Structure 1
């Protein structure tokens, strides 16, 4: 029986550099631009070193995704504990940097089953955390959970923000400013959150 293949340590600075380079490539040129050669060239290492840390490209993509997802879970916890959780959640969901990378992972998931399963697992984790935190906070904002179910609110936020981001990537912007302004007004009425741009928003 063969022994498991040795890989680099999780805390390695070289490993972190490779993840940084891969993430930047995905943001700037799309997931199709990522290969052991392209990452090695930018990082200034050999392709063999890429495979030492990540035996397959899927391993590399998964490591980039997991690192970002864990950071976002921590960020989400902080946002939903803020004085204005609804607005902060909305602004988090339309963050261009984060959503652009997620869009690349969604496209990648169409071709790689392991990535698709990972995204689905983390999405469920995000939704559960969001729903629980919102269920705890909405009554404090004077909202009835029967009138504004957290699961429905989260779905609407996700659907609207995903639509804005996907159309923006295509160069479509008709109705975007009006939609954002409408959401801004609704957030102010629902949770008493200050309009975007106000102090503390």
Structure 2
């Protein structure tokens, strides 16, 4: 319950506004209970990051096992709420070294897993590989999707349209090569 409330606060107000007092109020608890479960706010942010990434990896596993994984991967990374959380975690990492290291380690492991999905799709569908590695393609897909998701908060129609165009292209590429 506290982690869900902390995630909501981060998305709505930014990580700097996630205090034990605000968190307790949002969760309907006393502030002392926040520190009962999380000794420090750093512990809370670390638990929130680990919880968020675990859900992300579970979703990634479902995508890898499903149809049109490149399009689904792009769709998942285009989620504005997820993009906001990622931006907030990155901002938090500027002020907390332990978060920086945690995020960097996760980022490397994530790129490896996503590159595996890209590699599998390229091989299974006999897609032409540009002069790029699967790791580079994975990074490009993720960065473009997240950038469009975050920027869409400021020009919703234009960026939503761009997200749809890329998603449709990825779906079309997957269905054409499958046949």
Aligned length: 176
**2:33 corresponds to which residue?**
49
- Residue 162 of structure 2: SS of its match in structure 1? helix
**Structure 2: gaps (5+ residues):** none
1:108 aligned to 2:96? no
Contact 2:119-2:134 at 8 Å conserved across structures: yes
CA distance in 2, matches of 1:47, 1:185: 47
Query: Partners of 2:80 and 2:119 in 1: how far apart?
Result: 27
Greater RCO, CA 8 A, separation 6+: 2
- Structure 1, gaps ≥5 residues long: 1-16, 194-201
What TM-score, normalized to structure 1? 0.77
Aligned residue in 2 for 1:98: 82
TM-score of the two chains, using structure 2 as the length reference: 0.86
RMSD, aligned α-carbons: 2.2
Question: Which residue number corresponds to residue 138 of structure 1?
Answer: 122
* Residues 160 and 52 of structure 1, relative CA distance in 2, 3 Å threshold: same
Matches within 5 A, 1:157-172: 157-169=141-153, 171-172=154-155
Structure having the higher helix fraction is 2
Decide which moves more: 107-116 or 135-144. Answer: 135-144
Question: Counterpart of 2:39 in 1: which secondary structure?
Answer: coil
- Separation of aligned partners in 1, 2:38 and 2:168: 47
Tell me whether 182-191 or 59-68 shows the greater mean CA deviation: 182-191
SS of the residue corresponding to residue 152 of structure 2 reads: helix
Taking the aligned partners of 1:56 and 1:192, their CA distance within structure 2 comes to 49
Q: Check conservation: 1:142, 1:191, Cα contact below 8 A.
A: no
Partner of 2:162: 179
Corresponding residue number in structure 2 for 1:34: 18
Q: Which has the larger radius of gyration?
A: 1
